[in-house]
Chain A
Amino acid sequence: MNNRFFITDSKIKWILLIPSVLLLLFILIYPLIFSLRLSFSEWKAGSDMVFVGFENYKDLFTDKLFYTALKNTFIFVILATLFELIFGFILALILNREIGKIRNIFRTCLILPMMLTPVVVGVTWRMLFNPQYGLINFFLNITGFQWISNPKIAIFSLIITDIWEWTPFMFIIILAGLQSIPDYLYESASIDGAGTIHVHKYITLPLIMPTILLAVIIRSMDAIKVYDIVYTLTYGGPGSSTEVISWYIYRQGFTYWKMGYAAAASYIMLILIAVLVMLFLKYTNKFLKIS
């Protein structure tokens, strides 16, 4: 029998992969290329796409609001992710210990904010932040303090809301990481006389660092796209104090129908994020090596 009529194992592997690869190319690569083309075009509602070269990018770099949106987004992402990580880590450490049945109740309660629709979260916090009737001012006994109407404070109010909603995400991921650390390591450290700080510094932290890294990347990617709570809490205001990049892009694209311009803004954002993530990974890898 002639061998050429049979497909070898290595070939069949590639043939079977073809449909998946084609599908991926269609749903991932095509939008990427289309968006790139769009960013060099003007495409307004009711008209054809016209190639305009770097015009959209030129306009972007002269738009002060774009820079403000970038600045606000980075403040939001850095602070929100940082505090979510800190709170999530502390909560995970506490609830990783044997504290009886109450642990399950706490875990469930902690996950609840993440389950809520972001629009509900925004509307709820809008009421909580109300300077006259809001519960926050009531409990802090500071009637009249303006959380979302003060341009200097508004972005921090968004950050507080995001921390409340997304700390559970960090908590879950880090808790999973903590539970994967074998008990015998802690037992050995205990026998060797290591204190709590040393245990966490030399055992917990290095072992869950990859998990933390993953959580931070996922969470910061999500925070960059923040939109819902801006829509429900501040509409990007007062002034441009809570203008973030997704809100900016959305309005340019879907309210003003400047699709090319919005695509250009997306690509600038994309390049910046790619550079930042590469730097982040590079330094984290160095840190992991040292650890």
Chain B
Amino acid sequence: MKKTLLWVIVLVLSISMVGAFSFVGCKEEAAPAEEVTEEAAPIEEEAVEEVTEEVGLNFEGVKLNVLMMSHPPALEAAKIGCADFEELTGAEIDIVEASYSTLHDLAMSAFVGGTGAYDVISVPYQWTGEFTEPGYIISLDDFIAKDDPDIDDYIPKAVALYGSWDGHVVELPWNGEAMLLFYRTDLLEEAGFGPPVTWDDFDEICEFFKDNPDYPGIYGTSIMGLREQCMTMVTNRYWGLGGELIDESGNASMDNETMVKALNLLAKHANDYSPPGALAAGLPETTAAFLDGTVVMEEQWPLVIGIASEDPDQSKVVGKVGAIVPPGQSPHSGGWGLAIANDCKDKEAAYQLAKYLTNVENDKYFFTEFGKAPTRVSTYADEGLQEKYYFFEELMKSIDAARPRFREPESAELCGMMDQRVSEFLAGELTAEECAKIMNDDAMEILSK
């Protein structure tokens, strides 16, 4: 009897373990994703008529599901934009929001499972290849030929990076970002420094502020050492020092002196110049530290700090912040476009929604109203905006200068591998030399599969 009981327990345990594996993805889906029901934004009648004329379409009875990154400015913009589109065309839109890492897994689960759960998806450029090669998202060439979304007005770099794959346009650029270095103008001026142009300049400033009794509680920088941010942080340095992740022949190119130097720089910046807790600090912690006035310079996604730093409700450093392309002038590129899923039932409606959300008027409106990063040349050329936002011109420069992380179909695995290895190095599990070699070997192995 006892033996039977023993085996029953073992069987139940076994099944639950396999169940854990089978359902862990579902659990993940349930936690951070959130269904959003938009309230229709009030639109003035004249404006409605004007835009209806422009949209000129009726999608009564059409339902679209949009998978959107839960990046606050872009998400808010999408909510309002979708509500407007609903009112203008009669379509019904549901937005599902997901964090950066969750979005990939949700999209892939839907694609592989063939659930058709999402029609329009915000796709960061690093997943463009992964989604396009198996045919999960479609080419927009025919739609664009028929109904031009002013394609020439998108920033060319944005179209190339988060718009195209293999010569075809597969996304309409939606959110254009590249890392900027934000710095305290008052502190640098007081200390007699200019904004850093090289990593040596950066180090010199950090060293000056380190444990400086004249600046108690002030840190030179604040590094995002959380594992999911490690690759971004190291590539800012590696590219800035002239390194390449993959060489011209498609081989990994990370096992070199430049990578070792970049890794050591990152470790120094995280361990010596950042506030305590850098190895677990993510975007919220580092942003809060900068806005609290305790950090002199910080590499950050531009719209996170850019708008908030000028808001007295959120910032103690209003009017004291400048922005510049990070040292080395080869920052990490962000940015994502709006793609249409292959299993979308009404692709025309989905295309019109993507076109509407990224049109010239909305690009400017969403930036001024919510701080969503523009992707249109005309928005960046607006002199009024250039005057109003201190970081605007630098953002355009940074987008132009920025380098992409991997775009290969294996991108998710390559990026995950680099995050992991750099984090192991920062935690002291690997030396810089070992880390550079292992990353190179791992990348070669992933690319060769």
Q: Residues on A close to B: CB < 8 A?
A: 28, 31-32, 35, 45-47, 65, 117-119, 130-132, 144-146, 148-151, 154, 217, 221, 224-225, 227-228, 231, 233-241, 246, 249-251, 253-258, 262-263, 266-267, 269-270, 273-274, 277-278, 281-282, 285
Q: Besides the contacts A217-B9, A238-B279, what 9 more A-B pairs have beta carbons closer than 8 Å?
A: A47-B134, A151-B429, A237-B423, A238-B426, A254-B105, A255-B413, A257-B412, A266-B18, A274-B10
Contact check, A266 vs B21: say whether CB atoms are below 8 A apart. yes
A228 touches B31 (CB 8 A): yes
Nearest-CB distance from A46 to chain B (Å)? 3
A46 near B105 with CB under 8 A, answer no
B42 proximal to A (CB < 8 A): no
Q: Which 3 A-B pairs rank lowest in CB-CB distance, beginning with the nearest?
A: A239-B427, A46-B134, A237-B227
CB distance from B110 to the nearest CB of A (A): 11
Partner of A35 from the list B22, B105, B424 (CB cut-off 8 Å) is B22
> Is B412's CB under 8 angstroms from A255's CB?
yes
Residues of A within 8 A of B242 (CB): none
Contact B24 A285 (CB under 8 A): no
Closest Cβ–Cβ distance, residue A227 to chain B (whole Å) = 6
B198 interface residue, CB < 8 Å from A? no
From B6, B104, B277, B420, A281 is in contact (CB under 8 Å) with B6
Contact for B18 among A47, A144, A224, A270, CB less than 8 A: A270
Separation of A237 and B280 alpha carbons in the complex (Å) = 7
A255 & B111 in contact (Cβ 8 Å cutoff): no
Q: How far is the CA of A79 from the CA of B331 in the complex (A)?
A: 43
Q: What's the least CB distance linking A267 to chain B, in Å?
A: 8
Hey, what's the 0/1 contact readout for B412-436 against A, CB within 8 Å counting as 1? 1100100010011111110000000
Contact of B427 among A151, A217, A277 (CB under 8 A): A151
B108 lies within 8 A of A269 (CB): no
A45 and B112 contact, CB distance less than 8 A:
yes
0 or 1 for each of B115-155: is its CB under 8 Å from A? (1 = yes): 00000000000000010011110000000000000000000
Q: A131-B276, A151-B427, A277-B9 are in contact. Are A257 and B20 (CB under 8 A)?
A: no
Residue of B nearest to A36 (CB): B18
Of B2, B226, B285, the contact of A235 (CB 8 Å cutoff) = B226
Shortest distance in angstroms between B223's beta carbon and chain A's nearest beta carbon? Answer: 11
Contacts A130-B277, A256-B413 given: A249-B136 contact, CB under 8 Å?
A: no
Closest CB in chain A relative to B273 CB, distance in Å: 15
Whose C-beta in chain B lies nearest to the C-beta of A271? B14
Evaluate contact between A149 and B279: CB separation under 8 angstroms: yes
B 1-45 to A, binary, CB cutoff 8 A, 1 in contact else 0:
010001001100111111111101101100110000000000000
Q: Which of A145, A235, A238 has the most CB of B within 10 A?
A: A238
Q: Which residues of B approach A to under 8 Å, CB–CB?
A: 2, 6, 9-10, 13-22, 24-25, 27-28, 31-32, 101, 104-105, 108-109, 111-112, 130, 133-136, 225-228, 275-281, 285, 289, 412-413, 416, 420, 423-429
A233–chain B nearest beta-carbon distance, Å: 8
Q: Quick one: closest A residue to B422, CB to CB? A: A239
How near does chain A come to B269, taking the closest CB pair, in angstroms? 14
> Can you list 6 contacts pairing A with B, beta carbon distance less than 8 Å?
A132-B275, A148-B280, A150-B279, A235-B228, A240-B424, A255-B413
A-B contact count (CB 8 A): 163
The distance in angstroms between the C-alpha atoms of A241 and B226, with both chains bound, is: 12
Name the residue of chain A whose CB is nearest to the CB of B134: A46
> CA A78 – CA B404 in complex, angstroms?
43
List the A side residues contacting B275 at CB < 8 Å.
131-132
- Measured CB to CB, the closest approach of chain B to A94, in angstroms, equals 31
Q: Are A257 and B280 in contact (CB-based, < 8 A)?
A: no
In whole angstroms, how far apart are the Cα atoms of A46 and B112 in the complex? 7
Q: Is the CB of A45 within 8 A of B108?
A: yes
* A46 to B107 CA separation, bound complex (whole angstroms): 13
Contact assessment for A256 and B412 in the assembled complex, using a CB-CB cutoff below 8 Å: yes
The CA of A273 and the CA of B13, in the complex, are separated in Å by 8
- Chain A minimum-CB-distance residue to B415: A255
Among A221, A237, A263, the residue within 8 A (CB) of B226 is: A237
> Which of A32, A130, A224, A231 contacts B285 (CB under 8 A)?
A130
Complex Cα distance, B27 from A33, in Å, reads: 22
Question: CA–CA, A65 to B18, complex, Å?
Answer: 20
Between B20, B28, B275, B280, the greatest number of chain A beta carbons within 10 A of the residue's beta carbon is seen for: B280
Find chain A residues with CB under 8 A from B10 CB.
274, 277-278
In the complex, which residues of chain B have a beta carbon less than 8 angstroms from the beta carbon of A154? Answer: 280
Give the distance in Å from the alpha carbon of A237 to the alpha carbon of B104 in the complex: 20
Q: Is B277's CB under 8 angstroms from A131's CB? A: yes
Interface centre among B105, B134, B276 (most CB of A within 10 A): B276
Asked if A254 and B25 sit within 8 Å, CB to CB, the answer is yes
Cβ contact within 8 Å between B427 and A237: yes
Q: Tell me, in angstroms, the Cα distance from A110 to B329 when the chains sit together.
A: 54
CB-based contact B24/A239 at 8 Å: no
Nearest B residue to A269 via CB reads: B17
Contacting pair B427 A274 (CB below 8 A): no
From B31, B104, B420, A240 is in contact (CB under 8 Å) with B420
Question: Chain A contacts of B28 at CB under 8 A?
Answer: 227, 231, 250, 254
